[in-house]
A = this chain, B = another copy of it.
Amino acid sequence: MNLVAPDVGGRSAPVQARLAASALSRSHRRPSGAPAAAAGRAAHGAHTEPDVSVRWLARSAGRLRMAVDRVALDDLGGWSRDATTGNLGHRSGGFFSVEGMAVEAADGPVGSWSQPIIHQPEVGILGILAKEFDGVLRFLLQAKAEPGNHNGVQLSPTVQATRSNYMRVHRGRPVPYLDYFRHASRHRVLVDVRQSEQGSWFFRKRNRNMVVEVTEEVEMRDGFRWLTLGEIHALLARDDTVNMDTRTVLGCLPVTGTDLTPMFDVPGSDRFRTALVRSCDPAAGALHDATGVLSWITEARTVTGIRARLVPLDEVEGWRRTAGRIHHRSGRFFEVIGVRVQAAGREVERWDQPMIRPVGTGVIAFLAGSIGGVLHVLARASAQPGYADVIELAPTVQCTPGNHEHLPAAARPRFLEEVLGADEERIRFDAVLSEEGGRFFHARNRYVIVEVDPDAVAEPPGFRWLAPHQLGELVRHGHYLNIEARSLLACLHSLKSTAGSVK
């Protein structure tokens, strides 16, 4: 038996170097330092440009038509309302159900409440296939229409399958490329971790985030395309283009590690980008040491009093069922609606389903700034009732502003004003991105990264300045970074790429 080389910063260096090469545009790739070989090969690799991908996505959108009509919840074909509980479920027992959740949150601004919630106690697969072409890692993404996408088609992972999906509950066509992920150990696994989904809309839902690298020939199917990380990064800056499932998997990529800094040392970097590049190297240090960060999380998980349990949907208080939908009496938060879908280019052609339609566009933001030349972001320990383990780390701000307008100022989200009022030159990332289009209807959030001076922003209770290399270490394990933080982390890393926005 042979030993494998030690991980560098917990990650194997060659993967990280190839990811770095994949993130850089051709003109900026250059052989330098340790990863010279990979970078060198990358520099000569054939590659496409982001605008080519954009045109391909637009063409795909033309072919993948999906007609989505609102229907009353009681009229959903295949779905029924349980006579005792009022819960909405599929007649197969598969897919998911809409139930009620009662929450006790002793420390929160609202002490207790109940709400509808999606219950899907199974672990799905969000998988991206990777392969090296001429020295450059590429990722197989799919142009996919989802009923909840307000613009139809977005870039999805290679595989995006619930367990019902791949166990064929809907008796549709098999899921393409699924076997690479179901038998991942035959290949090189770059990412494989269960992560949570939205903690206010899902009850303890988790998906398996995977990136699997293959060396063999891969059959190319219609609607799929190999993209470099640099191309994906450029597309991330476009509104509603890279879907949530792709973003969470990207957020788990091993893009931090030692000795990668020289690869990103490109001409014209400003102070922010230089600090960002340094912040991907564990050797650069951080404001808090790793034990301190873990202790802070342990403390928060121990003392935070939040308890959530499923209750019959008919028992949620403050919610009304009128005109075929379920909505809060205040008109805030979200509605449960029914949709009828007619699709081309999917596993099945027609179906009905309930969806969650949020009221209003949310704001998801990191405050970010250099501490001693190393970029840090202000992470928040956030308790959401649907989490499996009390709290996860969230972006600095994560809210739908309209839901909080009726609350006293002290109960409004911290730092929301700093984000909404930020000068344009301090806004480093700003795009409206969609949440999962298979469950959420036109759910959009403005993802923002705002540069601040950390010395001018105190660390309030529940917040910590963390370096991206620390987030990269935490995200190897499940339930540390919430889905919004993983998504925004992918956006942050995209700022290292020099391909620039094609907005």
Contacts and interface: CB of A to CB of B under 8 A. Distances in A.
B298 A192 contact: yes
A106 interface: no
A285 interface: yes
A284 B388 CA distance: 35
26 contacts: A1-B454, A1-B465, A2-B372, A3-B286, A3-B371, A4-B287, A4-B289, A6-B282, A6-B284, A6-B285, A12-B289, A123-B302, A185-B295, A185-B296, A189-B295, A190-B291, A191-B291, A192-B294, A192-B295, A193-B294, A193-B298, A194-B301, A194-B302, A254-B291, A294-B477, A388-B389
A299 interface: yes
Interface of chain A: mostly helix, strand, loop or mixed: mixed
A184 interface: yes
A292 interface: yes
A179 to B, nearest CB: 14
A193 B189 CA distance: 28
A362 to B, nearest CB: 29
Interface in A1-52: 1-7, 10-12
A26 to B, nearest CB: 28
Contacts of A10: 10, 290, 473
In order of increasing CB-CB distance, the 5 nearest A-B pairs are A192-B295, A3-B285, A3-B372, A189-B295, A4-B289
Interface in A269-298: 282-292, 294-296, 298
Contacts of A495: none
B298 A1 contact: no
A455 interface: yes
A476 interface: yes
A308 interface: no
Interface string A365-391: 000000110100000000000001100
Contacts of A327: none
Interface in A451-487: 454-455, 465, 473, 476-478
Interface residues of A, number: 51
Interface of A: 1-7, 10-12, 123, 184-185, 189-194, 208, 254, 282-292, 294-296, 298-299, 301-302, 371-372, 374, 388-389, 454-455, 465, 473, 476-478
A296 to B, nearest CB: 8
A292 to B, nearest CB: 7
Contact of A184 (B184, B254, B295): B295
Given A185-B299, A302-B123, A1 B455 contact: yes
B291 A189 contact: yes
Given A192-B295, A194-B298, A477-B477, 12 more contacts: A1-B371, A2-B372, A3-B285, A3-B286, A3-B371, A6-B283, A12-B291, A185-B295, A191-B291, A193-B298, A208-B298, A294-B477
A5 B371 CA distance: 13
A113 B68 CA distance: 47
A294 B123 CA distance: 16
Contacts of A192: 291, 294-295, 298-299
